Chains A and B, each alone.
Chain A
């Protein structure tokens, strides 16, 4: 199963490396959102610093949707989905592989996003350890849930609109916990931030387990 996961993740990342969609399309999108938030609020006031955790995670949520859509977009052409089904790989392995690829791409984007936010909004970075732990766990939860909904919406008409409707409300708890954890860590209260991280660990476990179990049946005849 883990070998299958590594194969699928490697395939998705190699595709990404060769097409550079994340680099040339998703990354500029992230920067554009950071800018737009600045236009929407008063850039000089402290308001942006106060709402940085929320803006950061909202941006990650939108980006996660793009990544998931992309992740299943590449499977939709040339009968690749049939190929995956017939490959004999463990469905949970395929799921973990695709989720891992999304996870790694999101993490890379979050690093850039974090730098952009601290640079453009002037948010001072504190409690870096908690920030990193939170980012790892929340991203795992997002990638886990996103990949599950991705295969669910794959091949349906109107999947572009269906995926946000299913995915965004479902991961609202991740947004709450991750934003709270960031807020507390940035305010210097790392201990309380870690409590939210523990909650995120639970979410990630639940979402990834559910996704791994549901992926096989959902992949069939999709």
Chain B
């Protein structure tokens, strides 16, 4: 992106580093392996047929979503304790990535639900609380998107995240209780005897998605960090530019005024004194 600047001498020049480049390569290789395992190598399930293949994306997405929201909650608590930019940026990056995976988990769940349950949506306890979680963290990101003093915004956002964390078990418990009173659990839990290959594919998915999560959060963190530096630098530059142009244009405008004044037949001394 940009070279290190005067406003932030230690700032990295771009969002990549050797570590994340290697990590990115591992993730790309892992993804290729996961696609091969999920679509070609692993057999279809006896009960679910080919629909089971979407589980290799769905389950890791849901798990990664919990990493993201969990990390956001932890970083928010750390921010309120330490009050450093690091924890604020980490909380934001984790929440954004978590929200993406939350959306992915919901979408893949709905696609899986159509052939399995016969409908895209069921008022299942887990589904419902996941969607509510999605809305809660959308609100969190809405607070983060506000244009205001970063320290105040960081504090308010941190409290929203903490409230969401505390609300999470409450939501889950009440939704669970609510559904269980109305109907028996509709979906059969995972096959009692999971085929070895299915399990291996699922585990591969978990590992690859975890690495992908780490990679994404690191990059998102750095992008946001540089964006903030850029903002500060932009402000500093603007002030600098104003100062630089301060002397010259004022002199020029004074000349202009002097010229006008002289044609009008009055002195410029009074004007100079006031400006």
Contacts and interface: CB of A to CB of B under 8 A. Distances in A.
Contacts of B5: none
Given A156-B148, A162-B142, A169-B136, A177 B164 contact: no
Contacts of B177: 199
B235 to A, nearest CB: 20
B159 A218 contact: yes
Contacts of A218: 155-156, 159
Contacts of A222: 152
A156 B157 CA distance: 12
B169 to A, nearest CB: 10
Contacts of B164: 170
Scoring B142, B147, B156 by chain A CB atoms within 10 A of each residue's CB, the highest score goes to: B156
A112 B162 CA distance: 35
Contact of A180 (B136, B166, B173, B178): B178
Contact of A203 (B143, B149, B162, B170): B170
Contacts of A177: 174
Interface in A160-179: 162, 165-166, 169-170, 172-173, 176-177
Given A162-B142, A217-B80, A221-B152, A172 B160 contact: no
Nearest to B149: A221
Main DSSP-derived SS at the A contact region: helix
B84 interface: no
Given A156-B146, A158-B146, A210-B166, A169 B174 contact: no
A162 B143 contact: yes
Interface residues of A, number: 26
A27 interface: no
B170 A165 contact: no
Main DSSP-derived SS at the B contact region: helix
B163 interface: yes
Contacts of B17: none
A199 B169 CA distance: 12
A142 to B, nearest CB: 13
A170 B171 CA distance: 8
Interface in B160-207: 160, 162-164, 166-167, 170-171, 173-175, 177-178, 181
A203 B171 CA distance: 10
B174 A199 contact: yes
B146 A206 contact: no
A169 B164 CA distance: 10
Interface of A: 145, 148, 152, 156-158, 162, 165-166, 169-170, 172-173, 176-177, 180, 199, 202-203, 206, 210, 214, 217-218, 221-222
Interface of B: 80, 132, 135-136, 138-139, 142-143, 146-149, 152, 155-156, 159-160, 162-164, 166-167, 170-171, 173-175, 177-178, 181
25 contacts: A148-B159, A148-B163, A152-B156, A152-B160, A156-B146, A162-B143, A165-B138, A166-B142, A169-B132, A170-B136, A170-B139, A170-B163, A170-B167, A172-B132, A172-B171, A173-B171, A173-B175, A177-B174, A199-B177, A210-B163, A214-B159, A214-B162, A218-B155, A221-B152, A222-B152
